[in-house]
Structure 1
Amino acid sequence: MTERGRDALHRDVEMFQIGPSALRWENDGLTIDIDETAVPHLSRVRGRIRLQPTALNAEPFRLDRDGLHWWRPIAPAARVSVELDGPAQSWRGAGYLDMNWGDAPLEAGFTRWDWSRAALPGGRSAILYDATWRGADGRAEGGGDGSADGSADGSADGGLALALRFDANGEVERREPPPRTALPGTLWRVARRVQTDEGSSPREVRRLEDSPFYARCELVNRLWGEEAHAVHETVDADRFATRWVKLLLPWRMPRAQI
């Protein structure tokens, strides 16, 4: 997670390399070679991750009204193996692969968002987006009407309300977004909310990340009448845009090669 200059970037149709770390598509799966220095302790993170999709999706989704931010869940479901030399760790489990791209900073288009990906019985999966767009005055936008082509589903409070259910083969079905409920606040007081069946109570299993503007956790949820084991994240773009948070970022993602 080191930001590097243009000369450190190399890519072709099957490979993407930044500095000593690289991703490549081979044998119908993704291989990720990692060779980085962790901060602030300057320890090495070195090893390999292999991701083998069990379902693929080719459809991208527009996240904002103006088409400046896009997202594609490439593999709604996958098998993942991790083999690290430093630190010496290895494990296997279920996984997921997506990509985002855009033409503007995230904090310019959104004030916040909550996202989750859940495993459902039978190799199916669900992905939920709940984002608030930023208006021209810089505040949270109200009265969103969605988009004409349906790529971005507008919610009543001016944002994205997107609920997707994928079958075991990657075929996608748009669903009615479940109601929202609040999750407990984080150490850094990041407000979180999750979409869940009415009357259910999502249970946080493990806190994975707790930072001034970003939180990620593992939770058990209930979606459309089924139990769902999910990873949930919250991004507070207003908090991210503050000067004091920007000054903290190099401690987690240095901008010069170490």
Structure 2
Amino acid sequence: MSLNGPRGSAWAMTERTARDVDRAKHHFSVGPSAMRWDGETLVIDIAEVSSPLPYKVRGTIRVRPEMIGSTAFSLDPEGRHRWHPVAPRAHVEVSMTDPGLRWSGAGYFDSNFGDEALEDGFNDWHWSRAHLRNDVAVLYEGKRRDGTPFDLALRLDRMGNWHDIEQPAPVRLPRSAWMIERLTRADRGFIPRVAKTWVDAPFYARSKLSTRLFGENVEAVHESLSLNRFRSTIVQGMLPFRMPRAIWR
């Protein structure tokens, strides 16, 4: 979990073994944290400990979808990697006890899943989503491990139906502090601005963009992921300090 805001932040991501996982039709738990579907809302209960500084990260997040995406998309010809925009537009309520934070607003929920490690399938990717006036735009592109490109440009309507659209013009953003390359798309002639970088890691950057898409001025959530950087020896050596491994516990 990554929690970022002006009044506090928190990070927790602990590796778990198969015996720590429990899954049913409307319930999924990993270690002490769990999520459940009550018929209208996805309720996520978080009970974690940060690393390397061991402070508690606890609270509840409620995600109430305003639309449900019905389709999972393959990111490679063999279908080893899939992406599903589960709730492209949602109302989210966050109530954290550790740290003590509370807010609500517009949100989004998706899922990446597959049959091999991401670093075996991709060199990098760049993803962004923006809530437009009547629908949601999602732009997703990158390069697979074999060097071939992939890209998706979608608009999802209020019913959760998706529509293929032409990718807007490419724009190169400033690199992150860790020198991660960041690419995005915007209406031709418009220069997006990185309004805030929430996560700046050796292989990943998540940011808020002020941009223009399909004739609308919008704020977009953007991420760039370098899986070449992720699989490097030095980054793999750094990971256990932020992500405790199951073998350590």
For residues 185-235 of structure 1, what are the alpha-carbon distances to aligned partners after superposition, in whole Å with 9 as ceiling and x for unaligned?
Answer: 111111111011111011111111001100000111111222221100000
- Provide the TM-score with structure 2 as the length reference: 0.92
CA contact (8 A) 1:33 1:49 kept: yes
Cα deviation for residue 27 of structure 1 reads: 3.3
- Partner amino acid for 2:21? L
Counterpart for residue 75 of structure 1: 87
Provide the rounded CA distance (Å) in 1 between the counterparts of 2:22 and 2:119.
Answer: 28
For residues 76-124 of structure 1, what are the alpha-carbon distances to aligned partners after superposition, in whole Å with 9 as ceiling and x for unaligned?
Answer: 10000000111111010111011111111111111110000111113x1
- Superposition pairs of residues 198-237 of structure 1, within 5 angstroms: 198-237=188-227
CA contact (8 A) 1:120 1:229 kept: no
Cα deviation for residue 169 of structure 1 reads: 2.3
Provide the rounded CA distance (Å) in 2 between the counterparts of 1:178 and 1:160.
Answer: 15
Counterpart for residue 191 of structure 1: 181
Residue 173 (str. 1) matches residue 185 (str. 2): no
Cα deviation for residue 66 of structure 1 reads: 1.8
Provide the rounded CA distance (Å) in 1 between the counterparts of 2:137 and 2:245.
Answer: 35
- Superposition pairs of residues 23-172 of structure 1, within 5 angstroms: 23-122=35-134, 124-135=135-146, 141=147, 158-172=148-162
Provide the rounded CA distance (Å) in 2 between the counterparts of 1:10 and 1:104.
Answer: 21
CA contact (8 A) 1:210 1:216 kept: yes
Provide the rounded CA distance (Å) in 1 between the counterparts of 2:89 and 2:156.
Answer: 9
Counterpart for residue 8 of structure 2: none
- Partner amino acid for 1:6? A
SS in 2 for 1:32: strand
CA contact (8 A) 2:70 2:160 kept: no
Identity among equivalent positions (%) equals: 43
SS in 2 for 1:168: coil
Counterpart for residue 243 of structure 1: 233
- Partner amino acid for 1:59? T
Provide the rounded CA distance (Å) in 2 between the counterparts of 1:237 and 1:58.
Answer: 28
CA contact (8 A) 1:164 1:175 kept: yes
Counterpart for residue 145 of structure 1: none
Cα deviation for residue 253 of structure 1 reads: 1.4
- Provide the TM-score with structure 1 as the length reference: 0.89
- Partner amino acid for 1:92? S
- Partner amino acid for 1:16? F
SS in 2 for 1:55: coil
- Residue ranges of structure 1 left out of the alignment (5+ in a row): 136-140, 142-157
- Partner amino acid for 2:200? D
CA contact (8 A) 1:63 1:70 kept: yes
SS in 2 for 1:100: strand
Root mean square deviation, CA, Å: 1.2
Provide the rounded CA distance (Å) in 1 between the counterparts of 2:158 and 2:219.
Answer: 16
CA contact (8 A) 2:64 2:90 kept: yes
Give the count of matched residue pairs.
Answer: 236
SS in 1 for 2:66: strand
